A and B are shown apart, each in its own frame.
Chain A
Amino acid sequence: MEEFSTGINLRSAGCAKCHNPKYERGYKVRLCKDCRRELSRFPVKREVIWGALGVSVILLLALFRLPAYFRAGVDYMKGAQLAKEHKYVSAEKIFTATLKKFPGHTSSLVHLITAAYFNDDQSATDSLLSVLTATRSTLDDEELMDELTVVTDNSRYFSIQDNTIDNQLNTLQQDTAAYCKVLEEYLLKAPYDLAASVHLAYAYLELKNYKGTDSLCRKAIHDAPLFRPAYYELLSSLKDQKRYKEALAISQELLGQNKESLSALLALATFQLKLKNDKEALVTAQQAFQLWPETPDVLAVLSLAYHFNHRQEESTRMLAKLKNMSATDSTQLVDLQNFITDKTPYRD
């Protein structure tokens, strides 16, 4: 048996500390109740108390910051998940907020660039790409690198590669025939230039050369399936040609790339209405309204969708909301009123 510096004598016949004969039974070490209680409250050393106080202050400071960081972390993960689900409008909001808190976070910046691209905001895409270049950060994450490559690969199709042709086209804006000739000749030499293809497709559309528009757009889509302007030109052409079923399929392809694309949702709802798929059109329009409740085009389509679903009260409410908006195009408003009052037929 041992003896301790605290005055414990384990050989004592009574309590090992105070030698009181009335020790507690049932324990291997004989101690009276008071001594056991006192010893179980063994004093903590002063240095440890100071250390514990220091750690407590640090812990308090850390816990004070925790909610904000936790929220930011959860939001970022949600944003990444939304981006994986191709819901780029919601993802863009989250990544913008994340970058406000952590401006140097490269992953958020790359995700934001992708979101801006699929939200058809090319000026934001370009400016964010220049921010990324300015940070001179190297991307070690292969997945992130691949994500960025998709955007950079497709962004180069937005400008005509030959500057002289681009300058020449600027002087020919009023002369569509000459404009087309320059582009046709250029495309013979540079068939890979998809920006030129889309420019020419647009010019053909103005000339009602739908065959030319369709063939150029389909080739561009084939060469670069994520180059979205080609889809929009094709949609305009198909709408003019009243080929709504094909247009519906193209809208769905665009929505596959970005489930929250404003233009794609509006196009889909429009073609659904044209094809008399009124219930589906209402669902699509409501989805667009949830994302852009203040956008005139969305209100107009939703008003029409309510009208064709025989929900006149809601249709009128949307129309009234649209009227109160200063940004509303008056022609659009008149057209909408005419459609709703059946003065002008909306469907063919």
Chain B
Amino acid sequence: MIPGIYMALITFPGVVVHEFAHQLFCRLCGVAIFDVKYFQMADPVGYVQHEPAKKPIHQLLISVGPFIVNNILALAIAFPAAIPVFMFNDGSLFDFLLLYLGLSIAMHAFPSTGDAKVMWDTIWHGEDTPLWLKIITVPIVGIIYAGAMGSVFWLDLIYGMGVAFALPVLIVKFFSQIM
């Protein structure tokens, strides 16, 4: 079995995009960043150290930022390659490069348990947090922890394959029915 750190090394573009997404949302929310590590061969493989967000919603956005950015980017990159490869068995080397990038990026879409912990501490225990935000934080944190547990049996890889390989085909199927 490949240890997680080597898996992260193989799929390092996804780690870089993941940290970049945290950084992007910090910038959009005006949250000060103290340090960024895009990739390292240690645990954690990447991080963004930032001040606690003033508004709980900003903390939610910063934490789930990689889920938004990684998924969109992975799908955009993998989509044009997944159609020739998985629908027409006609992939070129460029298509396989795109699929590798898409898979790597999608695999790291899930926020880490560290992100979930910060989100829980800031939002659930936050004094000014509105109730609706607390309510939606619970399932998000739950899903993140479930994903972290699932990564032991390659759930992150399966998820990445779902987004980069299967989702484009499903989207095409959907459009073929409505167009």
Contact = CB atoms under 8 A, between A and B. Distances in A.
B179 A74 contact: yes
Contacts of B177: 77, 81
A321 interface: no
Given A40-B31, A48-B38, A58-B98, A105 B80 contact: no
Interface stretch (B82-90, B107-115, B155-163): B82-90
Interface string B13-47: 10010001001001101111111101000000000
B165 interface: no
Given A69-B84, A73-B83, A74-B176, A48 B32 contact: no
Interface residues of A, number: 47
Contacts of A41: 27
A187 to B, nearest CB: 45
Nearest to A67: B80
B23 A44 contact: yes
Contacts of A72: 83, 88
A225 to B, nearest CB: 30
Interface stretch (B48-56, B130-138, B142-150): B48-56
Contacts of A44: 20, 23
Contacts of B51: 27-29, 31, 39
Contacts of B101: 55, 58
A72 B169 CA distance: 12
B77 A59 contact: yes
Contacts of A63: 76, 80
A62 B80 contact: yes
Nearest to A75: B176
B13 A51 contact: yes
A59 B77 CA distance: 6
A37 interface: yes
Contact of A73 (B29, B30, B35, B87): B87
B118 interface: no
A77 B23 CA distance: 40
B112 to A, nearest CB: 19
A6 B49 CA distance: 12
B56 to A, nearest CB: 13
A234 B36 CA distance: 80
Contacts of B31: 40
Interface in A85-141: 98, 101-102, 104-106, 108
Given A36-B30, A69-B80, A48 B88 contact: no
B26 A40 contact: yes
B79 interface: yes
A105 B101 CA distance: 25
Contact of B90 (A28, A36, A105): A105
A144 interface: no
B13 A106 contact: no
B33 A66 contact: no
B148 to A, nearest CB: 25
Nearest to B128: A26
B32 A62 contact: no
Given A102-B84, A105-B89, A81 B176 contact: yes
Contacts of B26: 40, 42
B172 A58 contact: no
A189 interface: no
A35 interface: yes
Contact of B34 (A39, A45, A61, A65): A39
Interface of B: 13, 16, 20, 23, 26-27, 29-36, 38, 49, 51-52, 54, 73, 76-77, 79-81, 83-84, 87-90, 94, 97-98, 101, 169, 172-173, 175-177, 179
21 contacts: A6-B35, A26-B54, A27-B51, A28-B52, A31-B32, A40-B29, A40-B31, A40-B32, A40-B33, A47-B38, A48-B20, A55-B77, A58-B98, A61-B94, A65-B80, A70-B80, A72-B83, A75-B176, A98-B88, A102-B84, A102-B90
Given A6-B35, A102-B84, 16 more contacts: A31-B51, A39-B33, A40-B27, A52-B20, A62-B77, A62-B98, A63-B76, A69-B83, A69-B84, A72-B88, A73-B83, A73-B87, A76-B87, A77-B172, A77-B176, A108-B88
